[in-house]
Amino acid sequence: MAPSYNKAAERNDDDINNREIRISQVWKRSGMSCPKGTIPVRRGIINSRLTTTAANIIRKTPPHHSHNNNNLSLLQTNHSKAILLTVGYRYLGAKGDIKVCYPQVEKDDDYSTSQVTLSNGDYYDYESVESGWAVNPRLYGDRQTRFFVYWTSDGSKTSGCFDLTCPGFVQTSNEIALGAAIYPTSFPHDLSYEITIYIFKDAETSNWWVEYGNRIKIGYWPGELFKELRSNADSVEWGGEVYSDRVGHTPHSSTAMGNGRFPEGMYGNSGYIKRIRIHDNSLYLKFPEWVETYTDEYNCYDVDYVGDYIADPEFYYGGPGRNPICP
């Protein structure tokens, strides 16, 4: 079922809707397409019910007990984040233009992602939906930058997965393949390429939809998957995440976040997310009332929020991982 209120929200954000989306997925460059009523599915996709190892590949590890006094720390075992965060309202959607990068991933079991995330629930049993791009060798079998969706209903302890590797996400589009490589990608001091990701809740069905590129509704997570998210999200994140068993250890992982460069503000040579929007109880998409930056390891992956003297605030993030100040 198509979402009920989305078009009213879109009409108030013409600066986003009028932008030309210049990127595509590699499989479509050869002229391939899928007939109506079918969906594209990557070959070699992992069946999450086969083994415990497969489940560990497709599901993120759950959070451990560490958190700071401001309750902003989102540190998970073997994970490092650099994000822009907003909390304190009822969020019904979030959007962002994410620079598509090609980060170095050191080990086959590591991954690097950049995404938009909406979540609700307590620290250990949070529910979340997210979408963006990932370099994940163990899941996808290579180090290409690929489009992904992810969900969990219990802090990734027993539920959730990437893409279609477990029951949950319902794909409806025959134009975009989950897990497919994105082309082209951005490199420092060259043209920047972006994907627009919009995740929003359908008020009638409580399903959470993913829209790609301002026009293609990929599919949805049924509201029945969740308890708290069935109503609304209570936080939104934009930014990057690295998974490695060397996060927080010496030597640190050299798996990069973003494009592997530390944020350089409006120079744009690091990873970034622009045209940041949320949907709350108002009728339209808008910039959040309040935002805060957060990073687990600023010497390894840092953040830079540019909000002053600029018409539309921008968020820059990323880093190389292991370096002289992150040994």
CATH of residue 177: 2.60.120
Would 310 be classed as within a structural domain?
yes
Would 80 be classed as within a structural domain?
yes
Q: Is 8 exposed, middle or buried (0-12, 13-18, 19+ CB in 10 A)?
A: exposed
Q: What share of the chain is helix, strand, coil (3-state, %, to 5)?
A: 10, 35, 55
Beta strand 170-171 with 161-162: parallel, antiparallel or unpaired?
unpaired
Query: Tokens 């359908």 sit at which residue?
Result: 202
Would 301 be classed as within a structural domain?
yes
| Cβ atoms of residues 99 and 273 within 8 Å | yes
- Name the amino acid, one letter, at 233: A
Give me the domain span that covers residue 248. Answer: 75-318
Domain count, the chain: 1
Would 59 be classed as within a structural domain?
no
Question: How far apart (Å, rounded) are the C-alpha atoms in residues 104 and 258?
Answer: 9
DSSP 90: E
| Backbone φ/ψ region at 272: left (φ over 0), alpha (ψ -120 to 50), beta | beta
Mean pLDDT of successive 10-residue stretches along the chain, which has 327 residues: 40 40 51 58 45 52 45 65 96 97 97 98 90 97 97 94 95 93 87 95 97 92 97 97 95 97 85 97 92 97 94 96 97
- Number of H helices and E strands in the chain, helices first, is 4, 17
Would 20 be classed as within a structural domain?
no
Would 29 be classed as within a structural domain?
no
Would 19 be classed as within a structural domain?
no
The alpha-helical segments, DSSP class H, found in 48-204 are 52-58, 137-140
Determine the pLDDT at residue 76.
Answer: 73
Would 84 be classed as within a structural domain?
yes
